[in-house]
Structure 1
Amino acid sequence: MGVIRINNLKFHTFNGVFPEERKNGQQLAIDVALHYPIEERVQHDDLDETISYADVNATIDQFVHTHSYKLIESLANEVLKKLLKTFPMATKITLKIRKYSVPMPGIFDNVEIEVSGENHE
């Protein structure tokens, strides 16, 4: 089974629990892995035989810029649902969302949420 990965898509969004997060926003980074039988389905060097990276990016971009959640867990679940519906040819999708500006004490790079879902033919 092949995998199409798009890594480190970055978006400025207005998600968060605290009012300043929702007002000022913050950068999120998103990785998406779409499991797709590339070995079987891509036979003619034709974009119609695969999943367009540009379409995946546009779908995520449109969603994160028109929806806002307190929890990035909720954002991850809803983006995953949207991708599974929009790209039914993907057998499985894994989505990671990283949030860098987390208002909590400590030294760390980011907080990351990972969700996965499957399409059943």
Structure 2
Amino acid sequence: MGTIKISNIRVYAYHGCLVEEGKIGSDYRIDLSVKANLQPSSKSDHLADTVDYVHLNKIVKEEMAVRTKLLETVASLILDRILLEIPLVKKAKIKVSKLNPPIGGNVEMVSIIMERKR
């Protein structure tokens, strides 16, 4: 078993409960890690034998482009797609952060962390 991590994926998206958030949007940061058997790819040197992080990044970007009210919802959708589309992944963990959230204070970011396994 091994871990593949993608850190600090930056996207601009329109998540949030406030009407303004859907119109103005905000910056988001996503950190993702997946666990999979990396032994076959370490021996074969073939992309088909591992988890393609380009595919992971594509899933994150596509799901972040669909507006939701809650970070929990978009994180869940990303995890669902990873497990559905990439059979090699045994476990996935995601951290979705909204930078400079509109919560009435000097707050750098709010984050949620979720994980799923087969």
Measured against the shorter chain, the TM-score band is: over 0.9
CA distance in 1, matches of 2:101, 2:107: 9
Query: 1:20 offset after TM fit, Å?
Result: 0.8
TM-score normalised to the size of structure 1?
A: 0.90
Deviation, 1:101, is: 2.7
Distance 1:77 1:68 in 2: 13
Structure 1 distance, partners of 2:62, 2:108, is 26
Task: Quote the residue 2:5 is aligned against.
Answer: 5
* CA RMSD of superposed structures (Å): 1.1
Distance 2:14 2:107 in 1: 21
Aligned residue for 1:45?
45
Q: Which blocks of at least 5 consecutive residues in structure 2 are unaligned?
A: none
Unaligned runs of 5+ in 1: none
| C-alpha contact 2:27 2:98 (8 A) present in aligned 1 | yes
Number of residue pairs matched?
117
Task: With the length of structure 2 as denominator, give the TM-score of the two structures.
Answer: 0.92
How far is 1:28 from its partner?
0.8
Q: Where do 4+ consecutive residues of structure 1 move more than 3 Å?
A: none
Match of 1:90 in 2: 89
Identity across matched positions, percent: 26
Counterpart of 1:36, as a letter, is: A
CA deviations 1:51-94 (Å, max 9, x no partner) are 111111112112221x1111111111111111111112111000
The CA deviation at 1:108 is 2.7
